[in-house]
């Protein structure tokens, strides 16, 4: 049986890749951000995940506006990155876990999620930057991923509730996987930010704090936000929080927030890092 050890929510800003490549981690601008990953490294070394389910949004590398699935699940044995034009080095490839991918795909379709199945899939900065933050030096040998892409770009977007339920479906599917795996679920992007338009540079610290507080203890409350109301509070790209909602859905009802770092700004974003540890639920959740 696969065991879900917990979830990590993390930003995915490309300039982090540039800071890593130029070894600027200890400069005053970057230090408070990178220090927030010290605990993550300790926690990963202790918990030893072997597979990572990554909820993220593709920014035009694998999908573009002409064809953009609401939900897409990778089923490849390897995922490559390519130059996205941000001026950062192309990342090392990451191994896939096709058998687990197909198990999740079967379970999602049985649960009436009409996903796109990708036996080839390029992964962009929204996967590679969080991976590089969690495993510095790209030392992710032995780690396999299942990338799950959520459309946070081309409206209409899936609701917060729908993404939470997508995560729940994946959480149930992991619990029924017959092989042993120690699974980490990750949601990338956010928190509040807007890259263009009249509100470019928009940050909402109070709302970010509210979202992190509710994510651990009362995620149902967040599912009541419409996409448009959420964007009003978090900015047009703050809706990348949909990836965090899916991550939270895959976890148990009970989780402990064992780590939080929040730092403004990293590039145009409020950069947040949260570690949620799974706690046993008193009863098996209904489907």
Residues in contact with Fe ion by the rule CB under 5 A: 189
Kindly name the residue from 12, 59, 125, 263 that is annotated as catalytic. Answer: 125
Tokens 């130029």 belong to 22
Rounded Cα distance, 203 and 281, in Å: 35
Kindly name the residue from 193, 254, 259, 263 that is annotated as catalytic. Answer: 193
Tokens 């890259």 belong to 195
* List 59, 103, 162, 168, residue binding ligand DHB (CB under 6 A): 59
Token digits of residue 243: 């990836």
* List 6, 7, 9, 14, residue binding ligand DHB (CB under 6 A): 14
193 is an active site residue:
yes
Considering beta carbons, is residue 53 or 234 the nearer one to ligand DHB?
234
59 is an active site residue:
no
Q: What is the dihedral of CA 222, 173, 12, 255, to 10 degrees?
A: 50
Partner from ligand DHB, Fe ion, none contacting 93, C-beta within 5 to 8 A by type: none
What single-letter DSSP state applies at residue 26? T
Token digits of residue 66: 């002409």
**Site string (182-221) toward ligand DHB, x via CB under 6 A:** -------x---x----------------------------
Partner from Fe ion, ligand DHB, none contacting 248, C-beta within 5 to 8 A by type: none
**Site string (252-271) toward ligand DHB, x via CB under 6 A:** ---------------xxx--
Scanning residues 219 to 238, which ones bind ligand DHB (CB under 6 A)? 237
Query: From the DSSP assignment, how many helices (H) and strands (E) are in the chain?
Result: 10, 10
**Beta-carbon contacts of residue 241 (< 8 Å; ≥ 6 apart):** 160, 187, 189, 190, 191, 211, 230, 234
- The distance of closest approach from Cβ of residue 236 to Fe ion in the complex, given in angstroms and rounded to an integer, is 11
Helix (H, G, I), strand (E, B) or coil at 270: strand
Considering beta carbons, is residue 7 or 189 the nearer one to ligand DHB?
189
Question: Residue 272: which of 11, 7, 35 has the closest Cα?
Answer: 11
Burial class (CB in 10 A: 0-12, 13-18, 19+), 23: exposed
**Binding piece for ligand DHB, criterion CB under 6 A, among 10-18, 36-44, 169-177, 276-284:** 10-18
Residue 15's alpha-carbon distances to 11, 23, 140, 159, in angstroms, are 11, 12, 21, 29
Q: Which residues form the catalytic set?
A: 125, 193
The residues that touch ligand DHB, with contacts defined as CB under 6 A, are 12-15, 59, 189, 193, 237, 240, 267-269
């Amino acid at each position: 049986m696969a065991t879900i050890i917990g979830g990590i929510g993390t930003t995915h800003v490309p300039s982090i890749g540039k800071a890593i490549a130029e070894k600027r981690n200890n400069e005053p601008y970057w230090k408070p951000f990178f220090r927030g990953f010290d605990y993550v490294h300790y926690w990963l070394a202790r918990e030893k995940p072997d597979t990572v389910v990554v909820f993220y949004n593709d920014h035009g590398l694998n999908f573009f506006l002409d064809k953009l699935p609401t939900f897409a699940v990778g089923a490849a044995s390897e995922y490559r990155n390519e130059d996205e034009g941000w001026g950062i080095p192309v990342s090392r490839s990451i191994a896939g876990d096709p058998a687990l991918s197909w198990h999740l795909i079967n379970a999602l379709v049985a649960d009436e999620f009409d996903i796109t199945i990708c036996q080839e899939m390029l992964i962009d900065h929204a996967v590679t930057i969080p991976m590089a933050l969690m495993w510095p030096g790209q030392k992710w040998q032995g780690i396999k991923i299942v990338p799950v892409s959520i459309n946070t770009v081309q409206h209409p977007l899936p609701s917060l509730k729908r993404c939470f339920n997508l995560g729940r479906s994946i959480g149930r599917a992991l619990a029924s996987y017959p092989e042993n795996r120690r699974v980490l679920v990750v949601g990338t992007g956010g928190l509040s930010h807007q890259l263009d338009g009249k509100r470019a540079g928009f940050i909402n610290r109070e709302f970010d704090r509210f979202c992190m507080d509710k994510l651990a203890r009362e995620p149902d409350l967040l599912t009541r936000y419409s996409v448009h109301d959420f964007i009003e509070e978090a900015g047009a790209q703050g809706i990348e929080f949909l990836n965090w909602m899916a991550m939270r859905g895959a976890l148990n009802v009970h989780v402990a927030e064992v780590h939080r770092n929040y730092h403004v700004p990293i590039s145009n974003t409020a950069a947040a890092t949260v570690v949620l540890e799974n706690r046993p639920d008193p009863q098996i959740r209904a489907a």
